[in-house]
Structure 1
Amino acid sequence: MPSYKLTYFPIQALAEPIRFLFSYGGTEFIDYRFDRADWPKIKPTMPFGQVPVVEVDGKKIAQSVAISRYLAKQYGLAGKDDWESLEIDSTYENNETAKEEKLKRAKEIVPYYLERLDAQVQKNGGYFVGGALSWADFTFVGLLDYLNFMMRENIIEKYDNLKQLKQKVEKIPSIKSWIEKRPSDINP
């Protein structure tokens, strides 16, 4: 069994979907949250000078999307076939685009994506892809607190399908357990 260490700032943000995946998979991992003041020392030791980083038996892997996709494959959450895998990637990329926008522009763009994501969940039986749980669902729900914090509002308030998806993901026993025991952040 490989050993895993997740390195990130002391917040949920981009690392939370990864923590959801580890929790869902029942995988023990070191959740290393470094002090922000130490970032200048840590940054040069990280691939691409970025976090989150996951170490698998001491080998460092960067980029939250790549990490999530890798773990999703381990836990059977990467789609039933190549097409579903592509749909999951596409869903995640839309979510990333919405997240990266500046706040002023995001106020226009985020509802555009949320309408489409809500419709996608409705069309796919309550999940983003194939009527079944995938890492796209974990990524969206895992990033929601962070997105709400950045947007200064509950961005899914008007989207019933997304609200139901959030509830479903958060009721999964391993995810519920993680949420109950995770460190409380100053901000998500």
Structure 2
Amino acid sequence: MAGKVVLHYFDGRGRMESVRWLLTAAGVEFEEEHLLKREQYLKLLSDGDLMFQQVPMVEMDGMKLVQTKAILSYIAEKYNLHGKDIKERVMINMYSEGLFDQMEMIMYLPFTPADNLPAKLDAIQTKAKERYLPVFEKALSGASHLVGGKLSCADVYLLECSLMLEEKHPEILSGFPNIKSFQGRMKQLPAFSKFLQPGSKRKPQPDGTYLKTVMEVLDFKLPL
């Protein structure tokens, strides 16, 4: 396994999906060890592989990386997806943090009781339209990318986030033509075009099987 990038997580999106997207943008091949049984998670714990007793965990460059944002930051820095200087980097980080906030709302939907789901979906749409999407629509006015005129990790997260939003609210980008145009351009890039095809390592929307596996492996019960 030396030299290989190995992702340790569930067979689903969750907090690992942005890592998959960013590795794809960087052109890095990776393998996955899916957590399907609690015993696998307990072994990672007993082996000392999980610094804070949490996944995701990524084996890369002889390290066992944990904490999602730290993993993403390492990949972005290594593959020149984090801006050319400190001013570009802070802009990229600000955009990224906003996108993480939006995506986290969607990420928790599978764990939402059915009677609360309509309100959660409405909240996602409202915040997207009023808080997050206007920021990116403005940033992309007359620009090909969010920062510095070249691909950064923030662009990758915006593509991921915009597609996630459309899965829940198909017409949500109708009032944001710059984002929709950006999304179209990004989807044409060879790496992303391949990643968006059936059979790729992109994960589908979480279903009941994913929810059941996560709950069994981590040994918790709803409500969270």
- TM-score, normalised to structure 1's length? 0.81
Of 49, 63, 76, the match for 2:80? 76
3-state SS, counterpart of residue 31 of structure 1? strand
Instruction: Find the counterpart in structure 1 of residue 58 from structure 2.
Output: 54
Segments of 5+ residues of structure 1 without an aligned counterpart are none
Measured after TM superposition, the shift of residue 78 of structure 1 is 0.7
1:42 aligns with 2:58: no
Partners in 2 of 1:162 and 1:173 — Cα distance? 19
What SS does the aligned partner of 2:174 have?
Answer: coil
Q: In structure 2, how many angstroms separate the alpha carbons of the residues matched to 1:115 and 1:100?
A: 18
How many residue pairs get aligned? The number is: 183
Runs of 4+ with deviation above 6 angstroms: none
Match of 2:126 among 108, 131, 152: 108
> Contact conserved, 1:55 with 1:61, CA < 8 A, in 2?
yes
**RMSD, matched Cα:** 2.6
**SS of structure 1 residue aligned to 2:141:** helix
The residue identity in structure 2 corresponding to 1:115 is: P
Q: Which moved more, 1:19-28 or 1:165-174?
A: 19-28
**Cα 1:157–1:51 shift into 2, 3 Å:** farther
Within 1, Cα distance between the matches of 2:84 and 2:160?
A: 22
What is the one-letter code of the residue matched to 2:96? Y
Alignment gaps of 5+ in structure 2: 106-119, 207-224
Give the Cα separation in 2 of the matches to 1:157 and 1:15.
29
| Structure 1 segment 91-170 matched on structure 2, within 5 A | 91-101=95-105, 103-111=121-129, 112-122=131-141, 125-149=143-167, 152-154=168-170, 155-170=172-187
Identity in percent: 27
Contact 1:20–1:142 (CA<8 Å) still a contact in 2? yes
Which is greater in Rg? 2
TM-score normalised by the chain length of structure 2: 0.69
The amino acid that maps onto 1:65 is K
Is this contact kept in 2: 1:5–1:30, CA < 8 A? yes
In structure 1, what is the Cα distance between the partners aligned to 2:52 and 2:23?
23
